[in-house]
A and B are shown apart, each in its own frame.
Chain A
Amino acid sequence: MLKKLFDSLRPTFTEGKLSAFRSVFDGFETFALVPDTTSKCGVSVHDSIDSKRIMSMVVIALMPALLFGMYNIGYWNAQAAGATDASFLEMFSFGLAVMLPKIIVSYLVGLGIEFIVAQWKHEEIQEGYLVSGMLIPMIVPVGTPLWMLAVAVAFSVIFAKEIFGGTGMNIFNPALVARAFLFFAYPTKMSGDSVWVTKDSFFGLGHQLPDTFTMATPLGQAAAGQPISTDLTSMFTGLMPGSIGETSVIAIMIGAAILLWSGIASWRTMISVFVGGALTAMLFNSVGAADNAVAQLPWYEHLVLGGFCFGAVFMATDPVTSCRTEKGKYIYGFIIGALAIVIRVLNPGYPEGMMLAILFMNMFAPLIDYFFVNSNINRRLARANNK
């Protein structure tokens, strides 16, 4: 039935007056129906995996963190308003109402640009943005205005991805570029203590809070030398202020399990990030200055606070921007973990270092690969010369 629908529409899009939307039509057709093109050369049979399936799995893996994030939004809104009797459903639906516009804006702008580029280059629409488009709303503070989100998405899709040639060719993780763009372009809206709790009510849900209301993240408190008001259990479950998707370690670990089990994320990268972070934090614990509160944070708190887990699981493991050699992944992950903690501890300006650590290592991933590929090349050369 679907097939008939697409068959009847196809002429309109291939030669008819809507041919400017041909890529969009192809995109929707391959979304609904598995392409029936058969192999022309090479292997006759193919594995069923394709990039649509891979991207869908990542989006599924993001769901626990997203759903928890929605609940967390409602929880902090209710807490701040003093409404301690708010039901789970109330809090969750408030979070949903806050998040949905962000997700819709992210996909509309991002996929819109993807569709235009695909049509312009006469290519199939690439699925990479399905993941980035879900990641971006999850890694910004909840107070980010929609128009800023739209600008950041447009910037990252165009300048971090499409000018390099699209998904698979980009050097930097597009989702992190979007966040970095917001971070540096609108610093007052992206950090500080006033952006972590939603202050407006949405569609009659939630509570209106005064504009002057502030709430610091645990890392923000630590950076300011204040005592952290969150206990370890809350850090683990995620009931603390923070970017939408990053707070709950449990939800992220469910996602990590899905990614590792399906083999989409590399366990090498993921483990190395945690090892790198833990070792560096321990180092600071033993040698750090006594007046630096962040240096005194125990290593396990470092790992569960801020964007560390989220970055390690969903960002560092991006197959496109991470190292492409298996051995390189250990080094790549380790340095990300180490750098993130170094930035947290030693940098007075930014309480969180994960984003910058990953972007920095995105840049160095090809260099790490270069050494491993070159050792293979040199081995081959040596073999030939020894004859």
Chain B
Amino acid sequence: MNQSYKLKKGLDFQLEGQAAQTLDAVLFRTEVALQPEDFHGVVPRVVVKEGESVLAGTPLFVDKATQRVKFVSPMSGTVTQVERGERRKVLSIRVQPDSKQASKSFEVTGWEKFSAEEMKQLLLESGMFAFLRQRPYDVVACPEDTPKAIFVSAFSKMPLAADFSYVVEGQEEDFKNGLRALSKMAKLYLGISPDQVNTAILPVKEADVRIFDGPNPSGNVGVQINHIDPVNKGEVVWTMAPEEVIFIGRLLRTGKVDFTRRIALAGAEIQEPRYLEVMLGTKVGDIVNGQIKKADHKQRIIDGNPFVGHQTSEGRFLGAHSTELCVLPDGGDVNEAFGWILPRLKQFSTSRSYFSWLQPKKAYNLDCRIKGGERHMIMSAEYERVFPMDIYPSYLIKAIITGDIDRQEALGIYEVAPEDFAVAEFIDSSKLELQRIVREGLDTLRKENA
């Protein structure tokens, strides 16, 4: 029997435009690209030149620090542009796919017998290692570290998030093989939701499977780590998103990289919300082309889900870790009078000063307004209601704001990632940008500790 955890704190809430479980493929690709910003914590050293031909699996850039983590092209073709921004920061490395699609081959025969070091080498060379993230700091893992464990969460309860149970259908063997590969490098934990217990992603005897039952953010790997084996100062754990574990499985089966992923195209402004099979790094415009509802109000494209994703545009590229692309009304052109007193029946709130508690199952069509001014933290224990970890989030946030590093350490900053604060940021009546605050706190701390 797998150990299970019942979490009470958190918030489940529905947005309009949940993706229906049907699948289409996006084959039309003008360009694909890797955006180094998607791999937080890496200073990129570009190893290709504009005009150079690459195969799927050829490195486009490596990390400057160790030069061992390779970030590989998802498709074969010609490097069209190394896009740079302010202070020559690399924004994207773009590849125009060719028609024949050739892939670099990697030696995978007998991988079941690989040692930890051989497996790590394969993952580094094939670009798979780049998808491993580490805590503390929530950055790309460093191959020099020895993690105490690797954690994979097989579900997400974020609004509009892709349902991994559907994404993995037909690819269960690849997923399990990916887990087996990871388990060679460290002890592996797999967190699942109660409704995944009897699905084909199990059994995997190489992983220690734990069941997490509770509202969002119970699917966050950080929450699961906190309950299974919290990160102490000086320790490192690695995490990987389940969709990316499938990439490893495919590599082990074919010896070639295949970065096709099923994403959810969702949101109230999408004509037909559903799943799409897209290549990693596909241009956003190629995906949403003809999919967005015609409207005379502003719309916003979000790379990722509305809680942890970020605003993007048709000219940018699907994020390397993104499992959904959402389009919501922007709201910048909405005028709503006397919001402080009117009932506002269409709005969602966890506060019963609104009426959304009458319809707990209703899906809401929310726009991207902040709906209030930023204030000091006024309400007490507000974040604690939706933060299912043994941490005082409001005290930690204050320690980050005041830059008190000793106190941040004492209060558990090594255990958190910005995404763990997403639900708290959503319900925050003081409208503080919690994820930004945590991100900056982690980055500063990483510099200080370097």
Q: Which A residues fall within an 8 A CB radius of B?
A: 2-3, 30-57, 124, 126, 128, 165-169, 261-264, 266, 319-320, 322-326, 329, 373, 376-377, 379-381, 383-384, 387
Which residue in A32, A43, A379 is a CB contact (below 8 Å) of B425?
A43
Instruction: For the complex formed, measure the closest distance between the CB of A364 and the CB atoms of chain B, giving whole angstroms.
Output: 15
Cross-chain contact B337 with A44 (CB below 8 angstroms): no
Check B338 for interface membership: any CB of A closer than 8 A.
Answer: yes
**A128→B368 CA distance, assembly (Å):** 26
Chain A residues contacting B1 (CB-CB under 8 Å) are: none
| Other contacts beyond A32-B338, A38-B367, A38-B368: 18, CB < 8 A | A35-B372, A38-B330, A39-B368, A40-B311, A42-B425, A42-B436, A44-B309, A45-B159, A46-B431, A47-B427, A48-B351, A49-B372, A50-B373, A54-B378, A166-B376, A322-B380, A329-B380, A387-B232
Choose the segment among B49-57, B137-145, B299-307 that binds chain A (4+ C-beta atoms closer than 8 Å). B299-307
Task: Scan residues 256-293 of chain B and give those whose CB is less than 8 A from a CB of chain A.
Answer: none
Instruction: For the complex formed, measure the closest distance between the CB of B135 and the CB atoms of chain A, giving whole angstroms.
Output: 14
Task: Scan residues 368-401 of chain B and give those whose CB is less than 8 A from a CB of chain A.
Answer: 368-381, 384, 390-392, 394-395
**A326→B392 CA distance, assembly (Å):** 11
Cross-chain contact B422 with A51 (CB below 8 angstroms): no
Task: Scan residues 222-240 of chain B and give those whose CB is less than 8 A from a CB of chain A.
Answer: 230, 232-235
**A144→B303 CA distance, assembly (Å):** 60
Check B81 for interface membership: any CB of A closer than 8 A.
Answer: no
Cross-chain contact A52 with B426 (CB below 8 angstroms): no
Check B333 for interface membership: any CB of A closer than 8 A.
Answer: yes
Cross-chain contact A2 with B335 (CB below 8 angstroms): yes
Which residue in A42, A266, A373 is a CB contact (below 8 Å) of B435?
A42
Cross-chain contact A126 with B352 (CB below 8 angstroms): no
Chain A residues contacting B230 (CB-CB under 8 Å) are: 380, 383
**A56→B341 CA distance, assembly (Å):** 7
Instruction: For the complex formed, measure the closest distance between the CB of B442 and the CB atoms of chain A, giving whole angstroms.
Output: 14
Cross-chain contact A45 with B372 (CB below 8 angstroms): no
Cross-chain contact B331 with A326 (CB below 8 angstroms): no
Against A, the Cβ 8 Å flags (1 = close, 0 = not) of B299-337 are: 010100011111100000000000000101011111111
Size class of the contact patch on chain B: 35 or more
Chain A residues contacting B379 (CB-CB under 8 Å) are: 54, 264, 319
Choose the segment among B63-71, B206-214, B342-350 that binds chain A (4+ C-beta atoms closer than 8 Å). B342-350
Instruction: For the complex formed, measure the closest distance between the CB of A6 and the CB atoms of chain B, giving whole angstroms.
Output: 10
Cross-chain contact B336 with A33 (CB below 8 angstroms): yes
Task: Decide: A32 near B337, CB < 8 A? Known: A46-B426, A168-B376, A377-B411.
Answer: yes
Check B429 for interface membership: any CB of A closer than 8 A.
Answer: yes
Check B434 for interface membership: any CB of A closer than 8 A.
Answer: yes
Residue of B nearest to A45 (CB): B366
**A31→B337 CA distance, assembly (Å):** 8
Cross-chain contact A376 with B391 (CB below 8 angstroms): yes
Residue of B nearest to A320 (CB): B378
Cross-chain contact B309 with A51 (CB below 8 angstroms): no
Task: Decide: A46 near B369, CB < 8 A? Known: A51-B430, A168-B375, A264-B353.
Answer: yes
Task: Decide: A54 near B353, CB < 8 A? Known: A42-B425, A45-B15, A45-B426.
Answer: yes
Against A, the Cβ 8 Å flags (1 = close, 0 = not) of B29-68 are: 0000000000000000000000000000000000000000
Chain B residues contacting A54 (CB-CB under 8 Å) are: 351, 353, 378-379, 429
Instruction: For the complex formed, measure the closest distance between the CB of B335 and the CB atoms of chain A, giving whole angstroms.
Output: 5
Cross-chain contact A2 with B337 (CB below 8 angstroms): yes
Chain B residues contacting A30 (CB-CB under 8 Å) are: 373
**18 A-B residue pairings within 8 Å (CB atoms):** A35-B370, A38-B330, A38-B332, A42-B422, A42-B434, A43-B422, A43-B435, A44-B307, A49-B427, A53-B339, A54-B429, A126-B376, A266-B380, A319-B378, A320-B378, A325-B392, A377-B411, A387-B235
Cross-chain contact B335 with A36 (CB below 8 angstroms): yes
Chain B residues contacting A55 (CB-CB under 8 Å) are: 340
Chain A residues contacting B443 (CB-CB under 8 Å) are: none
Residue of A nearest to B354 (CB): A48
Chain B residues contacting A261 (CB-CB under 8 Å) are: 352
Residue of B nearest to A379 (CB): B390
Cross-chain contact B412 with A380 (CB below 8 angstroms): yes
Task: Decide: A45 near B306, CB < 8 A? Known: A51-B430, A384-B233.
Answer: yes
Check B98 for interface membership: any CB of A closer than 8 A.
Answer: no
Chain B residues contacting A325 (CB-CB under 8 Å) are: 381, 392
Task: Decide: A38 near B372, CB < 8 A? Known: A45-B306, A128-B378, A168-B377.
Answer: no
Max count, chain B CB within 10 A of own CB: residue among A37, A38, A43, A320: A43
**A381→B335 CA distance, assembly (Å):** 50
Which residue in B309, B335, B347, B394 is a CB contact (below 8 Å) of A3?
B335
Chain B residues contacting A34 (CB-CB under 8 Å) are: 334-337, 339, 369, 371-372
Residue of A nearest to B438 (CB): A42
Cross-chain contact B339 with A36 (CB below 8 angstroms): no
**A44→B350 CA distance, assembly (Å):** 17
Chain B residues contacting A42 (CB-CB under 8 Å) are: 418, 422, 425, 433-436
Max count, chain B CB within 10 A of own CB: residue among A37, A47, A166, A379: A47
Chain A residues contacting B173 (CB-CB under 8 Å) are: none
**A53→B351 CA distance, assembly (Å):** 10
Chain A residues contacting B426 (CB-CB under 8 Å) are: 43, 45-47
Residue of A nearest to B340 (CB): A52
Check B410 for interface membership: any CB of A closer than 8 A.
Answer: yes
Residue of B nearest to A57 (CB): B353
Chain B residues contacting A52 (CB-CB under 8 Å) are: 339-340, 372-373
Chain A residues contacting B159 (CB-CB under 8 Å) are: 45
**A40→B425 CA distance, assembly (Å):** 13
Chain B residues contacting A379 (CB-CB under 8 Å) are: 390
Max count, chain B CB within 10 A of own CB: residue among A31, A325, A379, A380: A380
Chain A residues contacting B411 (CB-CB under 8 Å) are: 373, 376-377, 380
Check B428 for interface membership: any CB of A closer than 8 A.
Answer: yes
Which residue in A3, A168, A324 is a CB contact (below 8 Å) of B430?
A168
**A375→B336 CA distance, assembly (Å):** 45
Cross-chain contact B330 with A264 (CB below 8 angstroms): no
**A173→B281 CA distance, assembly (Å):** 54
Against A, the Cβ 8 Å flags (1 = close, 0 = not) of B151-187 are: 0000000010000000000000000000000000000
Against A, the Cβ 8 Å flags (1 = close, 0 = not) of B111-146 are: 000000000000000000000000000000000000
Chain B residues contacting A319 (CB-CB under 8 Å) are: 378-380
Task: Decide: A31 near B340, CB < 8 A? Known: A47-B350, A48-B347.
Answer: yes
Which residue in A56, A262, A329 is a CB contact (below 8 Å) of B340?
A56
Task: Decide: A50 near B422, CB < 8 A? Known: A38-B367, A41-B435.
Answer: no
Task: Decide: A263 near B378, CB < 8 A? Known: A38-B367, A38-B368, A47-B426.
Answer: no
Task: Scan residues 409-450 of chain B and give those whose CB is less than 8 A from a CB of chain A.
Answer: 410-412, 418, 422, 425-431, 433-436
Ranked nearest first, the 10 interchain pairs of A and B with the lowest CB-CB distance are A50-B372, A168-B376, A34-B339, A384-B232, A52-B340, A42-B435, A48-B347, A34-B336, A324-B380, A49-B351
**A49→B331 CA distance, assembly (Å):** 16
Cross-chain contact B373 with A51 (CB below 8 angstroms): yes
Task: Decide: A38 near B390, CB < 8 A? Known: A43-B307, A49-B351, A324-B380.
Answer: no
Cross-chain contact B335 with A383 (CB below 8 angstroms): no
Max count, chain B CB within 10 A of own CB: residue among A44, A46, A387: A44
**A355→B448 CA distance, assembly (Å):** 47
Cross-chain contact B392 with A373 (CB below 8 angstroms): yes
